[in-house]
Structure 1
């Protein structure tokens, strides 16, 4: 399935959901609209942040959506790529931080096989 069709499918799905749960969908759109509105951070910056989170969460539809939105808010391809690189650094840093804490704790608590 093409990426555009996936984001279109999401939008269509939300439309169908709104038929059954209009208050919930409107509340969600109100909340996200407020979150992405210009403030101390520009809309472009917010979209780049959302892109990083979407990548970290392995959410394909949100990744495509936030790339499109970041570009529409004035982000360059280089800025999108740098946001992706930061997400990769945070993702690998997350694994490293858990490895040096939790794995080391687990290894330290083992009563057998210590070297």
Structure 2
């Protein structure tokens, strides 16, 4: 990991450590839950890390993105698999905007324009 990534992940770990001091039950439950979710099962650990990476990108969560790139590599993902994951996340993000645009925006236009006029 490069220095910027290390600093961001370290800041996250420091923050979690501080939260753990105040609310150990919550942080311990969170780590137990995520640890269980990321264990190999019907979906292997590498694929789970790639899924988590895609979700991290969609959520615009920089620390999780950095973390899951690193974890995916450690679980055997290739750079090409990681880049394909970026493509899938991009397709999902575009699909989200398109699906909401053609439904919500159209409803708003119909409401404002009084129904069937388009263009």
Give the TM-score category using the shorter length. Answer: over 0.9
Q: How many residues align?
A: 115
Please state if 1:75 is matched with 2:63.
no
- Shift in Å, 1:114: 5.7
In 1, Cα distance between the equivalents of 2:118 and 2:101? Answer: 17
Residue 91 of structure 2: aligned partner: 89
Name the TM-score, length of structure 1 as normaliser.
0.93
- Stretches of 4+ aligned residues off by more than 3 angstroms: 111-115
For residues 17-70 of structure 1, give each alpha carbon's deviation from its aligned partner in whole angstroms, at most 9, with x where no partner exists. Answer: 111111111100000000001100000000100101110010100000000010
When the two chains are superposed, the root-mean-square deviation of aligned CA atoms in Å is 1.6
- The residue number in structure 2 matching 1:30 is 32
**Aligned-partner Cα distance in 1 for 2:80–2:39:** 23
For 1:72 and 1:89, locate their aligned partners in 2 and report how far apart those are by CA, in whole Å. 25
Whole-Å separation in 2 of the counterparts to 1:114 and 1:76: 47
SS of equivalent residue, structure 1 residue 67: helix
Q: For residue 15 of structure 1, what is the aligned residue in structure 2?
A: 17
Unaligned runs of 5+ in 2: none
Query: Which consecutive unaligned segments of at least 5 residues does structure 1 have?
Result: none
